[in-house]
Amino acid sequence: MQSFDFVIRNGTLVTATDTTHADVAIAGGRIAAIGRDLAPGTRDIDAAGKFVMPGGIDAHAHIEQLSASGLINSDTFETATKSAALGGTTTVLCFAAQHVGMSLTKVVEDYHALARRGAIVDYGFHMILADPREEVLRDELPPLIKAGHASLKVFMTYDRLRVDDMQLLDVLMAARENKALVLVHAENHGMITWLSKRLLAKGYTAPRYHAVSHPRLGEVEAFTRLIAFAEFIDQPIMIYHVSSAEGVGVIRAARGRGLKVFAETCPQYLFLTKHDLDKPGIDGAKWMCSPPVRETSDQEALWQALCLGDLQLISSDHAPYAFNEKGKLMAGPSANFKQIPNGMPGLQARLPLLFDAMVSKGRFGAQKFVEWTSTAPAEIYGLAPRKGSIAVGSDADIAIWDPDKRVTFADADVVDGAGYTPYAGRTVRGWPITVLRRGEIIAENGRCVAAPGSGEFVARDGGPAAEPLGRLAPEFDTERNFGAQLY
């Protein structure tokens, strides 16, 4: 008789495609069997009345990251991944952030060292390219992609991070040649800069004006330009943190033409609006992120876009800055909105917020919850079949959810480095009470019980998501460009 380390019994097993009553057996850190009346394990877990779901995958988190201004966000890998585990997330994809003049290879090595010391959940890296010099793309990028870092991020805004049009084309081509996915923060830099200057010149300095300074049409223009470049190169892209109905419209049109455009949104765009920034003094800084949260009507457009498949996943964009002089208030208590670091914490809150909305309140249901928070990110980012589902042979990354447990978010309960939650006072129904990573319990009854550094790096290749369509722009088609070989 086969022996198991754990058997999770009597629960409701939910994947992106099925909901069933079944037991789950774990051996050697992997799913060993799914069925009824399985043999006993060394330990049995009774999940009667509970949902047994894949651990969450948060594919967009900034952890212990150095900003272009020299400020490190307010998390370490230990605090960030502890909050992830307590919120039901078992894998994070975060960033190795290159800045101008830096060696990308050295940057990745440095972030690996930080993660090995502190990570509690499993992790991988997207590489931020702020300085895509020829030698970086030619010499450093290919071996890093082969080593399992098969996704590249670029910014179309921010003074010290943004790439220009030619650099963006270079990155798209390098990704195509090396089978990596390109991820983009897409907003029009000129429109943001121009409007911000006008607001400040007229004395509109409070955090609420941050929500005005990022024009909705700036998202539309950047999405349109980015998609044109990606179509020209024939390179798949992921558009980050879609915030507006108009932005969704651009993506819907592109996908309707069959282009390989993936896109995500985040809980802040589904649950908050620009009115959350309208607080006395500088308090609204806690709700500043880029792009900014927008209107209730945009929330509905984003939910619809998820339902229609225009958006494929929901990540946190966890970017914590404490509300003190080492974080949000680095420029003092009278700082204007351009002097305040952008970003909000979200690793722990992401899944409970979405479980409450989708499962407890019945909007789209448990299978879509699993799809958008675990299975789709695993498939798009090359983590499947190891991660993202409960299937025989997959890693035993499992969250057991109590659908009746009510929790009210409070600053006092925050374990990440921000020290506050933007959802303070909001009550959700449904909470992960036991979380396993590769068959080891890492969180139980509100306590993180795993050792820092016990998380493992997960190497990824580009997979099907990064494969070009094979649609040649006329300029790249040798039959139409007088025989020029441009790929």
Q: How many domains does the chain have?
A: 1
On the question of pLDDT at 32 being above 90, the answer is: yes
* 405 within some domain: no
At residue 337, the pLDDT reads: 97
Which secondary structure element, helix H or strand E, spans residue 45, and what is its range? strand 41-46
- pLDDT tens by residue, 259-280: 999 999 999 999 999 999 999 9
Q: Cis bond leading into 291, ω under 30°?
A: yes
Residue the block writes with tokens 């099907």? 464
With bands split at pLDDT 50, 70 and 90, how would you rate the model's confidence at 3?
Answer: confident
Comparing C-alpha atoms, which of 170, 193, 268, 185 is closest to residue 223?
A: 185
* 394 within some domain: no
- pLDDT tens by residue, 100-127: 999 999 999 999 999 999 999 999 999 9
* 28 within some domain: no
- pLDDT tens by residue, 193-205: 999 999 999 999 9
Residue the block writes with tokens 């080492």? 326
Locate 429 and state its tokens.
């129904």
Q: What share of the chain is helix, strand, coil (3-state, %, to 5)?
A: 35, 25, 45
Amino acid present at 168: L
Residue the block writes with tokens 């290159």? 98
Average pLDDT over residues 157-179: 97
Percent of residues, the chain, with pLDDT higher than 90: 98
With bands split at pLDDT 50, 70 and 90, how would you rate the model's confidence at 326?
Answer: very high
With bands split at pLDDT 50, 70 and 90, how would you rate the model's confidence at 38?
Answer: very high
Amino acid present at 273: T
At residue 407, the pLDDT reads: 98
With bands split at pLDDT 50, 70 and 90, how would you rate the model's confidence at 219?
Answer: very high
Q: Measured between alpha carbons, how far is residue 55 from residues 212, 430, 438 in Å?
A: 37, 15, 10
* 249 within some domain: yes
Q: Where is average pLDDT lowest: 137-141, 182-186, 355-359, 479-483?
A: 479-483
With bands split at pLDDT 50, 70 and 90, how would you rate the model's confidence at 168?
Answer: very high
d(Cα 166, Cα 355) in Å, to the nearest integer? 42
Locate 160 and state its tokens.
């010290």
Average pLDDT over residues 213-224: 98
At residue 1, the pLDDT reads: 55
At residue 68, the pLDDT reads: 82
At residue 70, the pLDDT reads: 85
Strands 4-9 and 19-21 come out as unpaired
Average pLDDT over residues 8-15: 98
Percent of residues, the chain, with pLDDT higher than 70: 100
- pLDDT tens by residue, 84-105: 999 999 999 999 999 999 999 9
Average pLDDT over residues 298-327: 97
pTM of the shown model: 0.97
* 291 within some domain: yes
d(Cα 208, Cα 14) in Å, to the nearest integer? 40
Average pLDDT over residues 285-313: 98
Comparing C-alpha atoms, which of 307, 299, 295 is closest to residue 369?
A: 307
Q: CB of 356 within 8 A of CB of 430?
A: yes
Q: CB of 303 within 8 A of CB of 259?
A: no
* 393 within some domain: no
Most distant pair of Cα atoms in the chain: their distance: 77
Strands 41-46 and 4-9 come out as parallel
d(Cα 414, Cα 336) in Å, to the nearest integer? 27
* 309 within some domain: yes
Comparing C-alpha atoms, which of 223, 208, 188, 352 is closest to residue 287?
A: 208
- pLDDT tens by residue, 340-361: 999 999 999 999 999 999 999 9
Q: Which domain holds residue 76?
A: 55-373+460-466
Domain containing 252 — which CATH number? Answer: 3.20.20.140
d(Cα 300, Cα 289) in Å, to the nearest integer? 20
- pLDDT tens by residue, 377-396: 999 999 999 999 999 999 99
At residue 66, the pLDDT reads: 87
Question: SS3 of 363, please?
Answer: coil
Q: CB of 62 within 8 A of CB of 94?
A: yes
At residue 404, the pLDDT reads: 98
Contacts (Cβ under 8 Å, ≥6 apart) of 187: 156, 157, 214, 218, 219, 222, 290, 291
With bands split at pLDDT 50, 70 and 90, how would you rate the model's confidence at 371?
Answer: very high
- pLDDT tens by residue, 239-265: 999 999 999 999 999 999 999 999 999
At residue 122, what are phi and psi to the nearest 5 degrees?
-70, 160
Q: Measured between alpha carbons, how far is residue 210 from residues 71, 248, 260, 426 in Å?
A: 20, 21, 32, 24
- pLDDT tens by residue, 57-89: 999 999 999 888 888 999 999 999 999 999 999
DSSP string, 295-331: -HHHHHHHHHHHHHTSS-EE---B----SSTTTTTTT
Amino acid present at 443: A
At residue 127, the pLDDT reads: 98
* 149 within some domain: yes
